[in-house]
Amino acid sequence: MADNTIQFLQPDVVSRIANLELRARLVVEGFITGLHRSPYHGFSVEFAEHRQYMPGDAIRHIDWKILGRTDRYYIKQYEEETNLRSTIVVDTSRSMGYASPGHISKFHYAASLAAALAYLMVRQQDAVGLALFDDALRAYMPPHTTRAYLRQLLLRLHEAVPSGETSAGTALHQVADRMKRRGLVIIISDLLDDPDTVIAALRHFRHKKNEIIVMHVLDPMERSFAFGNDAMFRDVETRETMTTQPWHIGASYRQAMEEFLERYKRECREHAIDYVVMDTTTPFDVALTEYLARRQRLH
């Protein structure tokens, strides 16, 4: 089984699995198998119910069995000792339903990624919450650590359907207002909104002392614009259509897209926000590694 689990890091493989909880578990198992074979094996995934001993910790909580096996001091982590409070914010606007031929939709990718992140967080004894938005905040579940709560979260995610227009800036402000305690915020969206309004919302999270990871999800064709000779384009939110020859506007489109992405990259860097661009073919371990890297920096 271990030799086969890494295949579940591939979005096209995972997309064939209908059950979201199973999908999440297989992605995480594949990810952990991959970590053990990579330079990143130092990430703390082996001791989900323990944490490293720190000066001042009570000696009575040391796990002597782990000390005997590893020659390292770990203390038992109790359920109320949450490592990190995380909220996964997923864009459910209609534009997220787009999928070019041969690819899964941006929302299908985002939902699978969010489910895997949530599953990994609970495995790490981190509290995880969920927010869903389109032009406004549509659902909010504050962070908790239990497996029963994880199942409720995954069910809410499974039932979500891409609909409504995008107003990411407005909705993200609403999410920031709902959060009562600071923590890690992971935003999964195509960010197809006015960058000024989105960046203002990201600054709102930072003003409230939250750490942020932005996972910018696009379809491969949205980045390459590698369409055929004649094509009709339809705005998935307004339903407006335009027929054109893509080669006429391809170079201008790619330049505009590059400037669009560079703007987010620059603004996020200036505000100490982690920013990752991915498309719906990007293996899931890219995002999961980003989460673990930020998690280690916060501890």
Which tens digits make up the pLDDT trace of 264-288? 999 999 999 999 999 999 999 999 9
Quick one: CATH architecture of 85-298?
A: 3-Layer(aba) Sandwich (3.40)
User: What secondary structure does DSSP assign to the chain, as a single string?
Assistant: -HHHHGGGGSHHHHTT---HHHHHHHHHHHHHHHHHTSTTTTSS-S-TTEEE--TTS-GGGB-HHHHHHHS--EEEPPTT--S-EEEEEEE-SGGGG---TTS--HHHHHHHHHHHHHHHHHHTT-EEEEEEESSSEEEEEEEE--HHHHHHHHHHHHH----S---HHHHHHHHHHH--S--EEEEEE---S-HHHHHHHHHHHHHTT-EEEEEEEE-HHHHH----SSEEEE-TTT--EEEE-HHHHHHHHHHHHHHHHHHHHHHHHHTT-EEEEEETTS-THHHHHHHHHHHHHH-
What pLDDT shows up at residue 152?
96
What pLDDT shows up at residue 80?
41
Q: What is the pLDDT of residues 129-139, one digit of tens each?
A: 999 999 999 99
What pLDDT shows up at residue 225?
65
pTM: 0.80
What pLDDT shows up at residue 1?
39
What pLDDT shows up at residue 274?
96
What pLDDT shows up at residue 239?
59
42: tokens are 């130092």
What pLDDT shows up at residue 81?
46
Sites in the chain below the pLDDT cut of 50:
1-2, 39-42, 44-48, 78-82, 233
CA-to-CA distance for 151 and 148, rounded, in angstroms? Answer: 5
Domain ranges of the chain: 2-76, 85-298
